[in-house]
Amino acid sequence: MAGLSIRSITKRFGDTEVLRGVTLDVADAEFVSLVGPSGCGKSTLLRIIAGLEDPTSGEIEIGASIVTGTRAADRNLSMVFQSYALYPHLTVAENIAVPLRMRSLSAAQRLPFVGPFLPGAKEQRTEIASAVQNAAEMLEIGALLDRKPGQLSGGQRQRVALGRALVREPAAFLLDEPLSNLDAKLRVQTRAEIAQLHRRLNATFIYVTHDQVEAMTMSDRIAVMMGGEILQCDAPSVIYEDPNDIRVAEFIGSPKINILPVELGHSEMTLFGLVLARVAEASKAGVYHLGLRPEALKLTQAEPMITGTVAHLENLGSEVYAQVALADQTARVTLRATPAERHSLRLGAQVSMSFDLQDALIFDVDGTRQRRVEVALSNEREVA
């Protein structure tokens, strides 16, 4: 077990820059998710950590030693692939045993026919067999050990791939979208199991996914990647509640955060012409983005801040999401309502909403979070 540190890694394929100076430190036993839309470079970063791809520049450090340029096999990392990548000609037990066989048996001991009779081979082989047995029991695939991968279901293959990764004690586990080939129900179940596995093994995990729910539910920290950069790396709650960048705010959270244009004058902030708040110390005047999570919007009768008609309803049972087309605007906002409020939400119904400015996130036109403006707004409120 060891920590990992990635220092200003860049990677180019020809003229396209896939990674632009990524720096990330992962502590020992930490679970870090790399999350981002497809093509953001997260898988490339994982492959560079694994040693399957060489970075154009930058360094990778595992434990206390720099491994840039070291072969994948010598980095002592385990990887679980999206396609599981099990050896189709080997049984489950043999598949799981491969990393141990390649490491603990000498080339001569691995030979067919002769190998098992060489001195020391027998002890090694019993050790490997018991390690395989342990791994299989941990993942509850003990009954499948004699089958070939072709005879297994997707979920079972996934477990075998996990077994092959954890049968030895690597410095870190790298997981490349391991759940994306599973059906929705199994995905939720396996998600919990991987999180438990992390706790039990107390090992370093680096988990690549495009699914923000996976990242939110499993990780100690989430690194949100876009365009070859890490935009923000923080605990899931911080990423959700306190994003640094509008792209992070938009990527994390489902349904998506509502973004509304606001105008900041010298002394006040307006939304569609309505004065939201007064600002004491004027920041740079201009157009800003106001970010509101669906749960920040509340249905109200008195002093509505925004009004509109319900354009689409999604009832999930425990909650209701309503898309509201704003009056005189092209934008729609998504509102989360409790089932109790459902009666007031019908398609085409007029609704009025308000929100607490404390729940609002303010970004400038480039998408950078403007905490100073938020502070200024709240100070003003206290004064008032």
- In 3-state terms the chain splits into helix, strand, coil percentages (rounded to 5) of 35, 30, 35
Least Å distance between CB 35 and another protein? 20
Q: Pick the closer one to another protein by CB: 78 or 109.
A: 78
Handedness of CA 132, 134, 138, 142 (dihedral sign): positive
Least Å distance between CB 286 and another protein? 49
Least Å distance between CB 52 and another protein? 5
Task: Tell me the two tokens of residue 31.
Answer: 């679970």
Q: Pick the closer one to another protein by CB: 112 or 317.
A: 112
Least Å distance between CB 293 and another protein? 37
Task: Tell me the two tokens of residue 11.
Answer: 């990677």
Q: Pick the closer one to another protein by CB: 150 or 317.
A: 150
CA distance 204 to 372: 36
Least Å distance between CB 95 and another protein? 9
CA distance 217 to 204: 16
Q: Pick the closer one to another protein by CB: 172 or 290.
A: 172
Q: Pick the closer one to another protein by CB: 27 or 73.
A: 73
Least Å distance between CB 71 and another protein? 8
User: Could you give phi then psi for residue 370, rounded to 5 degrees?
Assistant: -110, 85
Q: Pick the closer one to another protein by CB: 24 or 86.
A: 86
CA distance 250 to 178: 24
Q: For residues 248 and 239, is the Cβ–Cβ distance under 8 A? A: yes
Report the interface residues with another protein, using CB under 8 A.
Answer: 47, 50-52, 71-73, 77-79, 81-90, 98-99, 102-103, 164
Q: Pick the closer one to another protein by CB: 181 or 378.
A: 181
Q: Residue 241 belongs to what H/E stretch?
A: helix 236-241
Q: Pick the closer one to another protein by CB: 112 or 348.
A: 112
Least Å distance between CB 75 and another protein? 9
CA distance 16 to 213: 29
CA distance 135 to 181: 22
Q: Pick the closer one to another protein by CB: 171 or 373.
A: 171
Task: Tell me the two tokens of residue 117.
Answer: 């009779």
Least Å distance between CB 230 and another protein? 23
Cα angle: 184, vertex 228, 284; to 5 degrees:
105
The answer for residues whose C-beta is within 8 angstroms of residue 289's C-beta and 6 or more apart is: 246, 259, 260, 261, 262, 362, 363, 364, 365, 367
Give me the half-sphere count of Cα atoms (radius 13 Å) on the Cβ side of residue 111: 9
